Every structure is written in C-alpha cells, then in structure tokens.
Amino acid sequence: MIQIYDTTLRDGTQAEDIAFTVEDKLRVAEKLDWLGVHYIEGGWPGANPKDSEFFERAGGELKLKTAELVAFGSTRKASSTVETDEILGSLLDAGTKTLCIFGKTWDLHVTRALGISLADNLKLVFESVAWLKKKKRTVIYDAEHFFDGFKANKKYALETIRAAARAGADRIVLCDTNGGSLPQDVEKIVRIVRKNLRVPLGIHCHDDTGLGVANSLAAVRGGVTQVQGTLNGIGERCGNANLVSVMADLELKMGYRCVGPARLARLREVSLFVDEMANRAADTHQPYVGDSAFAHKGGIHVSAILKEARTYEHVDPKKVGNRQRVLVSDLSGASTIAHKAREFGVDLSGNNPRARELLTKLKEMENRGYQFEGAEASFEILVKKTLGEYKPHFVLHDFRVTDTISLDHVEGEATSEAVVHLAVDKREEKSSAKGVGPVHALDRALRQALERFYPRLAEMKLVDYKVRVLKGVGTASVVRVLIECGDSQGKWGTVGVSENIIHASYQALVDAIDYKLMKEGFPLIIS
C-alpha cells in the first residue's frame, strides 16, 4: 500500500494563478476524500485568515470517511521556545490529529536563510517534533531541500532527519523542494536513507525539470511508502508532482495499491472538479484524464482501435473514469466516419456509399477551414443533413447587427444590437436584443425569438467562445469560430467559418441551438 498525501489545498494554492475560497477548499476536501486519498493537507493555520477559517469550519462541516485532515507548519522559530512559539501553537489549535512540519536540511539554508548554526538547527528540529509528540499528535516531518542538502553535505542532511526520528516523528518525507533532481539520483539517495533510518519514508517532489512524477515513482522504487503531491500538478513555479499520474501509474503500471480500482475510476471526475474550483480550463492533453488522452484522429489509428482498442491505448480509459473518443478530421477514413455515425444512431458500415460521400464533404469543408474535432455537435448535424435526416427547428431569414460607440466617454463606450427575422413552423418572428458585443447581442436576440416556441432553451448556456484567424491578409482573413454550450446534461461544441466573424459566429450559434433542440426532442409550443 502506498499512501497518497494530497497538498492541493496548501502547496497547490502557491501557484500564481490559483486561489481557492474557504468554501472551495471545503468542497475540494470532500472530493479528495471521495477519491480515497489518505491525507489532505488543508493549509497553514495562523499564516493567513483563510487557512485559519478553513480549520475552524472543517471540524464541524467536514465528514471525512477515508482521509485524514492535516495542518501544516514549520519548526519553531530560533527566537522562541516550543512553549511560546506561535507557529506550533497555531498547529495545535487547528485541532487535527495529524500535523506536518518542515525543517531545514540543506546547510546553505541554515546558515544563509535562517542565519543560525548547524547545531542550533538540529535543536529546532528535535524540540519541535518532540513537543508535538508530547501533545499526542501524529507528526509527519518534511525534510525541506533534502536532495540538494544531501548532495551538498551528506553527513549533515542525515543528521537532521535522525534528529526528527529520535524526537519521535511518525514519518519522514524527503523533499525535492527546488524540483531539480533526476530519477536515478532520487532512487539512489532514498535507498541510502532507508539503510540509515527505520522510520517510514515519504517523497515530496516539485516539477521544475518536468520530472515530478518520475522522481516520485523512483522514490517508491527506492522504498518510500507515501507520495505527496497535488491534483493536476498545480503548485508553486512549475508545480508539484501530479497525483493524477502518480496514482494511475502506481496502480495500473507498477502493481501498487493506492486508492483501489473503484475509486481510481473517479480520477477524471475529481481532476475536472479541482480545475473547476480553481476557475481554470482543464488540460485536454493531461495523461489519463484529459479529453485527448484516449482520442484518436488518424484513419489508420481509428481503423485499428475499432478492431482492438489495445492497439493504440495503453490502458482501458474506464479505469480512470475517461472514455475513448474518435475524432473526425481531414485525416479520417471511411471507418472513422462509420464509427462516428453509429454514435448518432446512423449505420454507414458495409461500404455504404454515403460514408464516402460524407468523407468527401468533410474533407472539402476542412480544406475551407472547418474543424470538427471540438465541434462534434456540428458534425452530427452535418451527418444528418447529408443523409437527408435533418429537420430544422427554425429557419433564419436574415439578421442585422449594429455597433454603437459613444464618444462621450474617455475611452468610448460600445454597445451592440442584433435584430433577427426567423420562422418557426411557418410562424414569422422578429426580435431585437442588446449585448456587450455583437455575438452576445445575436445570441440574446435568437433566444428571445425562439424561447416563445421552445421555453426550455433557457437552460442552455454559452460556455466558451474562440476565434481563430486561418488565412488571408489582415481583415480579409478567414476566421473559424468555435462555440461551446452546455446545460445540466452536458456540453457540446459547434463551428462556423467565414471571412465575416459575425457570420461565422451565427453559423456556430445556430448549430448550437439546433443541436440542443435536436438532442432533447423538444416539442414545439405555439402560444
């Protein structure tokens, strides 16, 4: 069994683009517990009001079933005693059974950063751990900068962790704080420490050389039984070891048990949840859990995986909560088209000539700039149009968008207004709406006209809007607009291409609305 120690809520928040509210932290902690991690490091009590409030609320609000909450801090200050030290006092006040403290291991930090003698630093380590053990706490000792310290002064680095061990530390974690170590060095040094220490070991790696995961796995080979890291690898500078990859690699590649198969299948869901709480876009190319992790685009690849998934998939995506995806592009073959069509309930197998017709049309459109990899809703509509199975829910006759810029303000204030003219079941409808931009105004005008007939369109939200300039010179360039919409049931993408950005946006918007109506089978309501 390898213990998983998550520090997303403490070390992860040190990333420059990450900020969790107390409410966010409580929700993330619940998800991490659901995933099955063994320890959740909640923050540094006393360091800031947010972390202090988190621990105050966690005691009454968090009902953890599998994980243990940990408060983090440091050894006492050189200018105080263990009885009077504010850091140690705040740790005890946090009310957690388990505490994690770090101390200096690298002689450079002791003499330059702390400005004390090497002997005095050993006292800080010993007395701090011993004091917390006297208070009946489980103590995890993080040996900060251990690998750099070991390389600079092996004897002293080992003395610091021996001091923690003599004081009663329950586990000693070797930290690659600067993230500059290599896997072979990590494994070698861990084996040396194991010969010199009987206390269980852990590893804490940063990712400054892109080796945070590799170094963590090397440490496990060397004998550690706890891995510290963060979900999605968030953390200071280049981040921490990514526990998503660590857990999946340990369980699926190395034969260790961390959280078990049932909980490992929750990995993608928790990964996406953490990104959502951090208000950042999920990495589509993240190993195991990214949208592209099991996505297949090339015709040869697709043909092979349709016969045997293992030909181009190193694990079953379901084991980490992910799914296989077949993408359609100008690299696609007839087998790809047939496979995608089956997802929509259309059979194009058996050398169906419609598959070739659709493939030809697809490649012509992609040559003009269309891209269906992130716009599968538009592709489904294209399939049904080609097969004559498409029934539009409305007909847009024309629309007009105008921008007004008021120069009464210093920087000018712009407003947009859209007017649409459409028909639903031969009923004519005109609508106008204002928005913060032309696309926003057009979206509001379309909805305003259609919600009278399809009230549940109000559920649909525009999630993302991207514009890509494809070719041409200056303002005459062709642009591709990708729109992502969603509702309580999921998300879908649509695409539009034109030399006119408003026209391209209209294409994608109309597809997005039509797809919502098509997939739900909304009844027409005439009032």
The answer to whether residue 391 scores a pLDDT higher than 90 is: no
8-state DSSP, 42: E
**Is residue 351 predicted with pLDDT exceeding 60?**
yes
Q: What is the mean pLDDT of residues 356-369?
A: 77
Q: Which fold has domain 3-277?
A: TIM Barrel (3.20.20)
- Residues with Cβ within 8 Å of residue 366, at least 6 apart in sequence: 329, 330, 372
Tell me whether the CATH fold assigned to 3-277 matches the one assigned to 394-453. no
What average pLDDT score do residues 164-190 get?
98
CATH code reported for the domain at 394-453:
3.30.160
Domain ranges of the chain: 3-277, 295-386, 394-453
Q: Which residue has the higher pLDDT, 222 or 326?
A: 222
| Of 113-122, 294-303, 507-516, highest mean pLDDT | 113-122
| Res. 76: pLDDT tops 90 | yes
For position 92, what pLDDT does the model report?
97
What sign results for the dihedral spanned by CA atoms 37, 38, 41, 42?
positive
pLDDT digits (tens, 9 = 90+) for 257-297: 999 999 999 999 999 889 888 888 789 899 999 988 998 87
Question: Is the pLDDT confidence value at 475 over 60?
Answer: no
Number of Cβ within a 10 Å radius of residue 14: 15
pLDDT at 333 over 60: no
Query: How many angstroms from the chain centroid is the CA of residue 49?
Result: 26
CA dist 459 and 456 (Å) reads 6
Q: E-assigned strands of 286-332?
A: 295-296, 325-326
pLDDT in tens, 423-452: 998 889 999 999 888 888 999 999 899 998
Say if residue 502's pLDDT is above 80: yes
CB atoms within 10 A of CB 468: 14
Does residue 8 carry a pLDDT above 90?
yes
The region of weakest confidence among 46-60, 218-232, 392-406 is 392-406
Q: What is the mean pLDDT of the chain?
A: 89
d(CA 308, CA 330): 23
Quickly list DSSP for 390-447.
---S-EEEEEEEEEEEETTSSS-EEEEEEEEEEEETTEEEEEEEEESSHHHHHHHHHH
Q: CA dist 283 to 8, 13, 259, 272, 441, Å? A: 17, 18, 23, 9, 30
526 pLDDT exceeds 90?
no
Bridge partners, residue 494, by sequence:
483
